[in-house]
Structures are given as C-alpha cells and as structure tokens.
Amino acid sequence: MRNPDRDAQIAHNLAVWFGRAARDLPWRRTRDPYRIWLSEVMLQQTRVDTVIPYYERFLERFPTVRALAEANLDDVLALWAGLGYYSRARSLQRAAQQMVERHNAEVPRDPAALRDLAGIGPYTAGAVSSIAFNLPEPLVDGNVARVLARVHKVESDIKSPEAQEIFWQSAARLVRADPAVPPSVLNQALMELGALLCTPTRPACGMCPLEKLCKARIENITETLPITAPRAKPKPANIVSAVVWHAGKVLLARRKAQGLFGGMWEPPLFEAASLENARPFFEPFLFPVTELRIVTRKPLRHVLSHRSLAVHVAAAALSTPPPETTFTQLPDPYDRSEWAAPATLAGGLSALAIKILGAAPDPGAPLVLSPSAAKPARASHRKT
C-alpha cells in the first residue's frame, strides 16, 4: 500500500480543497493549544453545531488551563450538562490539574507528555500536536477512518485491529508526505473531508478532491465501504425514579464520579420491576416513601449507547419539612443528596434528570431550569 507519489498527491489535493472548503469554526481561528484541546474533547461523539455554544460558554468561564484546574467540579459539570459523556468533563479537569502540576499550567508540546495526561489518547494527542503545534503527528477518528477505508479499499471491519493498523500507518505517511502541506492543514482536511463529503451514506464523490485517487470510487464500491460490524442493540432496563417536592425544593442525588452520568444530579432512580420493588431503595433518603405515586401513564424513554431505559416517574409533595440531615450512607450509585431548587443547583442536571423533572414538576410552581440544563446533545460522528 506504500506509494510515496500517491500519498503526496493525496496530501496536495486535500490541502487545496481544504483551503477553499474549510468551515469557519471558532477553534480554527486560534492556535491556542488549550482552546484546540477543549474543542477536540467536546467534539468527540458530538455534532459541531451542538458544540459551538458550549465551547464559547466554557471558555468565558474557564479561559485558561489554570482556571479550569482550580474550578469546582460541580461548576465544570454544570457547563457540560447536555453534552453527554460526562466522563470527558471530569478527565478534562483532571488533565488540566496535571498540566498545572507538571507543565506550568500549559498544554505540553511533546506528544508523549500529552498522552500521559488523563483522558488524552492517541487521537487527541495527534490532534493537539498537529493542529496547535504543527508537528507531523497522525490522527485517526471515525471520519478519517472512513476516508482511508475508501481511499485504500480496506475490506476489514473498520474497528478491527488489522484495519486500525492500516489507518494509523497511512495517516502517519500522509502527514509527512508533502513538505509543502503543514500537518495542521493535512489532518484537519482529512477530518473535514469525512464530515462534509465522504459521509457514511451517499458520499459526494463527484465533489471529492480524491475522486481519481480513491480505490473504492474507481471500483464503484463506495457505498459498501467501510465495513462495520452490526451494532449491538441497547439492553432494556426498567427504572423507577422518585420526584419529591417540598416548598419549592426537590430531593436531588449526586451520582458518584465514576460511572454513568458521573458527578451529575438527578431525582434518585433505581432499576426495579415496580414502584413497590423500588421503595426500599428510596428509604435511605429519609422521606415517607409510602406517599410516592406513579404519575406517568407511559414510561419515559431514554436511549443510551448500551441501554434503553423505560423510566416510571413516581412523585410526592411533602406537607411537613424534610430532614436537614447531610446524607452520607446512600445506595449506589449516589454519594450525596440535598433539597434544592433545580434552577439554582450548583452542579449540572443530567439529561435524564431534566426529562424526569419535566414529567413531575413542582405542584406549587412552574418548573424553571437554569441555562446549564440544556437540551441534550445528539450523539453522532464527530465533526459533522
């Protein structure tokens, strides 16, 4: 598959096309490594048009590595709420703290040092190294893999070790193939091509700068590549949630940092066959669980990558003040709970929590959620 002349032509064509077709995006107006790193983390599994307002709000609040490192995690999660994949936000802050400890609060230039930070793998390290520092480091994400699978006619499963090795080797050659093409341009052009033209279905081959170099196009098999294994269906789960109100405040529980919706706040919820089965789980929260009644005629549907949740919402409005105890012994997955007005909660509400609260609002007042409790982002191929 090695062909230096072909690689150089691919790099040249990509650079020329990118020069006229590149979208004007906020993170492309800067060479600040912190801003580029932030954008790359936010864009993982999230659409560009969704990311832009989050990116801008995040930088207003945390404009530097040090500002992010010193922030309260609840504040970080509040600004992330709605983007999903919340482990990204926790890893982002931990990496910022490591940069303060090891690199004088700066994003390191060395790719190996980048890969040694929390949440930064080969793709993110390659993106930051090449885009921010113009180093000849390769990268492969979903868009790049799709482009290279078609260009080289890779007929293995796109996620298989065999195919991934081909993609990374090809990306490493391309980023060095033409000395006239900066690594920052080459890598962004590859990703942009996958986002705009070399799409999963109905690729716009007639507009592609690699049309005459693409083996799949030449053999008219672009619609059959890349090869992907069937995605496993999300497993169904029956969930019961308790929404308990008193005097304008609702009982909210914070999930432990590790795991699904880590660090986010929500009305407590548990996997259970029925409300009766769920009541014992709610007892440690010290409210009269016998007052709970199911208020949703049909369960709320919430689909995750690996689970399909059917959420039955039970609600209660307390006439007497709830205990002011700070709860420490809570059932998994929670580590803390408090009575709070959702609009003023310091930490972020999970997307599922927003749905649940909408199904059982405060009977004494309309529900008003803070701007941080935004519409959940659509998961998708990154940078589309």
Residue 95 in any domain: the answer is: yes
The tally of CA atoms less than 13 A away on the side-chain side of residue 136 is 14
Query: Do 189 and 289 belong together in one domain?
Result: no
Count of alpha carbons within 13 angstroms of residue 329, beta-carbon side: 3
To the query of whether residue 192 is one of the catalytic residues in this protein, the response is no
Kindly report whether the global pTM for this prediction surpasses the value 0.75: yes
Are 51 and 181 within one domain?
Answer: yes
3-state secondary structure labels for all residues of the chain: CCCHHHHHHHHHHHHHHHHHHCCCCHHHHCCCHHHHHHHHHHHCCECHHHHHHHHHHHHHHCCCHHHHHCCCHHHHHHHHCCCCCCHHHHHHHHHHHHHHHHHCCCCCCCHHHHHCCCCCCHHHHHHHHHHHHCCCCCCCCHHHHHHHHHHCCCCCECCCHHHHHHHHHHHHHHCCCCCCCCHHHHHHHHHHHHHHCCCCCCCCHHHCCCCCCCHHHHCCCHHHCCECCCCCCCEEEEEEEEEEEECCEEEEEEECCCCCCCCCEECCEEECCCHHHHHHHHHHHCCCHHHCEECCCCCEEEECCCEEEEEEEEEEECCCCCCCCCCCCCCCCEEEEEEECHHHCCCCECHHHHHHHHHCCCCCCCCCCCCCCCCCCCECCCCC
Least confident of 8-12, 122-126, 296-300: 296-300
Q: Which two structure tokens, joined as six digits, stand for 233? A: 């269906």
Structure tokens at 344: 């003023």
| Nearest by Cα to 147 from 90, 96, 104, 211 | 211
Say if residue 63 is in the same domain as residue 170.
Answer: yes
Claim to verify: residue 14 and residue 133 sit in the same structural domain: yes
Structure tokens given for 352: 């599922």
User: Are 84 and 178 in the same domain?
Assistant: yes
Same domain, 49 and 171: yes
* 193 and 293 fall within a common domain: no
pLDDT-derived band at 1, boundaries 50, 70, 90: low
- Distance from the Cα of residue 95 to its chain's centroid: 16
Which residue would you say has higher pLDDT here, 84 or 347?
A: 84
pLDDT tens digits along 170-209 = 999 999 999 999 999 999 999 999 999 999 999 999 999 9
Query: What is the reported pLDDT for 267?
Result: 94
- pLDDT tens digits, residue range 87-117? 899 999 999 999 999 999 999 999 999 999 9
Rounded to 10 degrees, the C-alpha dihedral 279/282/288/292 comes to -60
Q: Up-side HSE of residue 71: CA atoms within 13 Å toward CB?
A: 27
Shared domain check, 260 and 194: no
Q: Average pLDDT in the 24-46 region? A: 96
Same domain, 257 and 192: no
- Is there a single domain that holds both residue 197 and residue 257? no
Phi and psi at residue 332, in whole multiples of 5°?
A: -60, 140
How many folded domains does the chain comprise? 2
Whether residue 121 contacts residue 183, with contact meaning beta carbons closer than 8 Å, is answered with no
Angle at 253 between CA 327 and CA 367, to 5 degrees: 130
Written as six digits, the tokens of 20 are 């006229």
In the prediction, which pLDDT does 375 show? 37
User: Among 40, 137, 192, 266, which one carries the catalytic annotation?
Assistant: 40
Residue 209 within any structural domain of the chain:
yes
Of 224, 248, 274, the position where a domain reaches its end is: 224
Considering the chain, what is the average pLDDT of its residues?
89
Distance CA 219, CA 223 (A): 11
| Digit-coded pLDDT (tens) for 201-241 | 999 999 999 999 999 999 999 999 999 988 888 899 999 99
Handedness of CA 91, 92, 97, 98 (dihedral sign): positive
Q: Which domain holds residue 151?
A: 4-224
Residue 269 backbone phi and psi in degrees, to 5: -145, 150
pLDDT at 373 over 60: no
Asked whether the predicted pLDDT for residue 336 surpasses 70, the reply is yes
51 domain residue, yes or no: yes
CATH number at residue 101: 1.10.340.30
Q: How far apart are CA 369 and CA 78, in angstroms?
A: 12
Residues 31 and 46: their CA atoms lie apart, in Å, by: 22
Same domain, 44 and 83: yes
Query: Mean per-residue pLDDT for 301-322?
Result: 89
pLDDT at 342 over 80: no
Q: What is the mean pLDDT of residues 42-65?
A: 95
Residues 143 and 80 in one domain: yes
> How far is the C-alpha of 105 from the C-alpha of 317, rounded, in Å?
48
The residue ranking higher by pLDDT, 344 or 54, is 54
Positive or negative, the Cα torsion across 275, 280, 286, 290? Answer: positive
Q: Is the pLDDT of residue 365 over 60?
A: yes
| Token code pair at residue 182 | 């900066």
The residues facing 255 across adjacent strands are 334
